[in-house]
Structure 1
Amino acid sequence: MSFSSFSRPLVSPTTPQSVSGANTLSIESMFGQIMEVVLKSRSEIAELRQECTELRQANLSLERQVREGIVAAQLRSPHLGTPGFNTPAPSSPQLRAKSPFLNSSSIPSLAVPPSIHIASPLGINSATSYPFGPIREIPGFYVVIPAGGAGTRLWPLSRENHPKFLLDVTLQGRSLIQATWDRLLPLTGADRLTVVAGPAHVRSIHEQLPDLLPPNLFCEPGPKDSMAAIGLAAAILAQRDSDAVIGSFAADHMISGDDAFLTAVSEAVQVAHKGYLVTIGIAPSHPSTGFGYVRLGERLDISEAPNARLVSSFKEKPDARTAAAYIATGSYRWNAGMFVTKATFLLELLREYKPELEEGLRKIAAVWDDESRRNKVLEEVWPGLEKIAIDHAVAEPAALGGRVAVVPATFGWDDVGDFSSIAELLPAEANQPRILGDSGLVLTEQVAGGIVVPGSGRLVACLGVDDLVIVDMPDTLLVTTRARSQEVKRLVKKAKDAGWRALL
């Protein structure tokens, strides 16, 4: 029955029934209007969906064009291969990392987009670039790369004997430690670039970094956290050069934007010469609960480092609400664990706050160049050293005394802490899972998001599952969700307790 049929009067207007009929007519008329609005809304929603589909297709086409344009530009001008800085190719050969999943020649090379230097809202000096000129090397500056940890959140891809810093997790053809070497080499040259690592990783590091000088690889007998590793390097380098300024940069972090990075490091060196322990604060892109924070204090009046400030305080990893409040103030930066300082000044701080640790490290450094004596002293001293992070050992207490500075920086940074982080670094079509390895080994149907690591060589097929993490290795299969990828280390502990030590 059409709505128009209700317009015919059923009884005389003067009867009581006519009032009831009028009410019925009014209700049905309203219902008809509602239906018209609903139908119109459905039509508009359908049009919006069509527009969204067209926009997604246009974006995918644009992304392909950008990637193809970048590759073409690099082919035309090979010397422009490093974004943001015309850094010459490193002397180390471009070897693929010896990782479990990099055994297929079909793994694509991911084009690196040109970096965009975005000035942080810190005032007129925020976009100031350090005047490197044609020479970027910083005299008297030594790089320390602590290469430790097992990367348990990336298990079973990362193992104790082959941790994440030895893996190429971005399909660039270079492992994380190789990328770190490439990034820092222009500042020091190979003769002032050092690595601190455990005995299990010495051989792999030398294979991946053939230009690393043997005397510059400091082997620590066992893990004692960052203070002992960085302190050991500082003590040894202070023996070699009493004026040495050292910069500590983790082996397993991702950085984009060479210009902004090198500028920040150069400013930090200038501040370190003034007698500060200097950290580099990363402009936060979101209220992360997985990182510590640095609160910016007063601006330092150092002409060579216009962005430098005192550190007001360090903050531990906050909850989501606190992290959002930090970012809203504009006065907080992520603490990326990058520290630059005079080697002797770091030892002075250590002597003040952790005297036993400083004394032990000095004993080791005093005999380091004598291998027979070194091994004996290491056996006697190293086991008794305190296991503590550099933040807790010296940075936090020194900040209270106004002896810690921060250089706010604008380069992109990620500590590649879990599979969700890796997924963000990999290319993929819209709403499709990221694939770390041979994409020919992954079949999906109605699958959105997530990451798949086909490391066993067999086919991985997924149907109707979203945002999963699937890591298929020859001896182990991990399945979780991106939302819970930070908790993988709990499985590692359970596997250890259950007797699966050989798989860790």
Structure 2
Amino acid sequence: MINKKNFWCIIPAGGTGTRLWPLSRADVPKFLLDLTGCGHSLLRSTWNRTSQLVSADRTLVVTGVKHAHSVAAQLPELSSENIIAEPAPKDSSTAIGLAAALILRRDRDAIIGSFAADHVIQNNLLFERAVANSITAATTGAIVTIGIRPTHPATGFGYIKIGAPRHDIAPYDVYDVASFIEKPSQERASKYLASGNTLWNAGMFIARADVLLEQMAQSQPLLVAHLQELAKDWDTPQGATTREALWHKLPQIAIDYSVAEPAAAAGKMVCVSAHFRWDDVGDFASIANILSSGRKDELAILGGKHSQVLSEQSSGIVVAQPDRLITVVGMEDVVIVDTPDALLVTNKTNAQNVKQLVHRIRDSRGSQLL
């Protein structure tokens, strides 16, 4: 466990994972699912990883009201006061900002680390090393993000362009952030990979809680004022009334825009370059790559030992039900997801487009299948 008495973990557990429909649904989103075949959910895997960094009493999980019970069931070590149930989703600025404001009321010197509930990380030792470097950087007043050394020209991730090394903070792996880059085309992603000065943006943030809120207040002063008011009343008899009065007034804005990009522009942000394997499990192509360890000629199967899948000269991924035989012959990079009420068939190239399909289903059939 990292020996930093003021370090706290925030685990944002939100979103519905629309690119993973029909497996991920509004009632059971991807962070509550086992998507790697390891026997427990992405949320539980995140908890197991962060519990090596900090104790349970200094970990907050931010989730929706409808998922709070499931979070509590999957994380029995977590006290109810550390499950922050949002009345309605308001994006990452609210989730992380509210948790920071709550933590600050408990510990005025808190350093917070935000780690998404639905990412896959391999090699926990390298993860802990990156976090330790990040905490060191955060003690200087910097806002820190963790970037991942890219292994291929991914188009589904954002990128971080790094600047000069910060040897004043650490002898290695810490750099100024020059800019953040949106998801690129294949051509640009290949150039980023070749350049050596761009990293995948893993969406992890480490900072003093007060520094993060001060930075957020520069672009979103009313949001921070509301978050501080909500935090003040959160666990009091007045809490429900305050939430009812203020929650609908909170803007929906990602922390990338309220904190990360403005901080980088002001020279207040640094990046720790990490070397662990990471994936945000954004679509079925990601799951296929994780399950097959990157082998392109393999058909990955998700669904447990009772799944019935026969394949011949095929690759991709099949998510199977235990009571039905699925056969695949001569299909390359296929994606088949079989659930009791919906069947998805696509390929890895188009896996990102499942989100658009979900929008069409919502428009034509309502939310009963979502």
TM-score by length of 2: 0.96
Aligned to 1:383: 248
Aligned to 2:198: 332
> Is residue 2:143 matched to residue 1:266?
no
The CA deviation at 1:318 is: 1.3
* Residue 419 (structure 1) aligned to one of 284, 300, 308: 284
* Residue 487 (structure 1) aligned to one of 331, 353, 357: 353
CA distance in 2 between partners of 1:441 and 1:260 (Å): 34
CA distance in 1 between partners of 2:169 and 2:212 (Å): 23
Aligned to 1:164: 30
* Residue 307 (structure 1) aligned to one of 169, 173, 179: 173
**Structure 2 matches for 1:198-347, cutoff 5 A?**
198-302=64-168, 304=170, 306-347=172-213
Aligned pair in 2 of structure 1 residues 466, 322: CA closer, same or farther (>3 Å)? closer
CA distance in 2 between partners of 1:439 and 1:491 (Å): 30
The CA deviation at 1:305 is: 6.0
Aligned to 2:316: 450
Letter in 1 for 2:134: A
Aligned pair in 2 of structure 1 residues 214, 302: CA closer, same or farther (>3 Å)? farther
Letter in 2 for 1:405: V
Give a deviation string over 1:220-245, Cα, whole Å, max 9, x none: 11111111100000111111111000
- Tell me if structure 1 keeps the 8 A contact 2:21–2:358: yes
CA distance in 1 between partners of 2:171 and 2:69 (Å): 39
Aligned pair in 2 of structure 1 residues 494, 376: CA closer, same or farther (>3 Å)? same
SS in 2 for 1:363: helix
CA distance in 2 between partners of 1:169 and 1:308 (Å): 32
More strand per residue: 1 or 2? Answer: 2
Aligned to 2:329: 463
When the two chains are superposed, the root-mean-square deviation of aligned CA atoms in Å is 1.6
Give a deviation string over 1:193-221, Cα, whole Å, max 9, x none: 11000011101111100001111111111
- Tell me if structure 1 keeps the 8 A contact 2:143–2:205: yes
Give a deviation string over 1:112-131, Cα, whole Å, max 9, x none: xxxxxxxxxxxxxxxxxxxx
Gap runs ≥5 in structure 2: none
More helix per residue: 1 or 2? Answer: 1
- Tell me if structure 1 keeps the 8 A contact 2:292–2:299: no
Aligned pair in 2 of structure 1 residues 440, 413: CA closer, same or farther (>3 Å)? same
Letter in 2 for 1:336: A
CA distance in 2 between partners of 1:462 and 1:439 (Å): 18
Aligned to 1:19: none
Letter in 1 for 2:15: G
The CA deviation at 1:335 is: 0.7
CA distance in 1 between partners of 2:328 and 2:177 (Å): 49
The CA deviation at 1:310 is: 1.1
The CA deviation at 1:456 is: 6.0
Gap runs ≥5 in structure 1: 1-134
SS in 1 for 2:28: coil
Letter in 2 for 1:395: A
CA distance in 1 between partners of 2:273 and 2:292 (Å): 29
The CA deviation at 1:464 is: 3.1
- Tell me if structure 2 keeps the 8 A contact 1:282–1:413: yes
Aligned pair in 2 of structure 1 residues 162, 238: CA closer, same or farther (>3 Å)? same
Give a deviation string over 1:62-116, Cα, whole Å, max 9, x none: xxxxxxxxxxxxxxxxxxxxxxxxxxxxxxxxxxxxxxxxxxxxxxxxxxxxxxx
Letter in 2 for 1:213: S
Letter in 1 for 2:340: P
The CA deviation at 1:300 is: 1.7
Aligned pair in 2 of structure 1 residues 279, 145: CA closer, same or farther (>3 Å)? same
Aligned pair in 2 of structure 1 residues 239, 490: CA closer, same or farther (>3 Å)? same
- Tell me if structure 2 keeps the 8 A contact 1:257–1:412: yes
CA distance in 2 between partners of 1:452 and 1:495 (Å): 22
The number of equivalent residue pairs is 369
Q: Which runs of 4+ in 1 moved over 4 A?
A: 427-430
Shifted more, 191-200 versus 447-456: the winner is 447-456
SS in 1 for 2:19: helix
CA distance in 2 between partners of 1:385 and 1:322 (Å): 35
> Is residue 2:261 matched to residue 1:403?
no
CA distance in 2 between partners of 1:389 and 1:303 (Å): 28
TM-score by length of 1: 0.71
Aligned to 2:219: 353
Aligned to 1:93: none
CA distance in 2 between partners of 1:296 and 1:445 (Å): 44
- Tell me if structure 2 keeps the 8 A contact 1:311–1:406: yes
Aligned to 1:13: none
SS in 1 for 2:25: coil
CA distance in 2 between partners of 1:242 and 1:430 (Å): 50
Give a deviation string over 1:234-289, Cα, whole Å, max 9, x none: 11111111100000000000001111110110110111110011000100111111
Q: Percent of aligned pairs with the same residue? A: 46
